[in-house]
Amino acid sequence: MPAAQLEAQALTPIEWAEVKREPKAFLAHSLCADGKRVFPSTRAVGVLDPAEHDRLVRDVALAINIIGPTYARIDLKAWEVRLRAGAREADRSLVASLARCVERFNDGRSIHTMYRPERYWGCAVADLCDGHLLAFHAARAVSS
């Protein structure tokens, strides 16, 4: 493989589900160069020797822990504190726009609120990552 600057890309919940079934999918979904996936498929990851595969998984996982936090692997309280602090310092209109991504409905007995953060990012619910949800809840916490 020619020399290239490699990048890690956060995984969606659907991609994480595939990784649980097939661990090699982790590199297939997360390792990029020049904005494109390095491995076109999970099968293509099989060309790596085991030591190279393990080194890449370790390095990519470390990067993803920074750029794509997941509830399963982070210090949740620390992330919440920092994201709330960031939300307080950010452009109030952006924070408010994110925090207002909700639907309210009345079932005849009470008013319910359904969170809709996917509207802020313009994506399907299945494409939201835990980082999106962390940011949404931080925006809600500082806007209320």
Average confidence score pLDDT of the chain: 89
Handedness of CA 32, 34, 36, 38 (dihedral sign): negative
What strand order describes the sheet that includes 31-33?
6-8, 31-33, 36-37
Q: What pLDDT, on a 0 to 100 scale, did the predictor assign at position 11?
A: 80
Give phi and psi for 114, each to the nearest 5.
Answer: -115, 125
Enumerate the domain spans of the chain. Answer: 6-67, 76-143
> Does 122 have pLDDT greater than 90?
yes
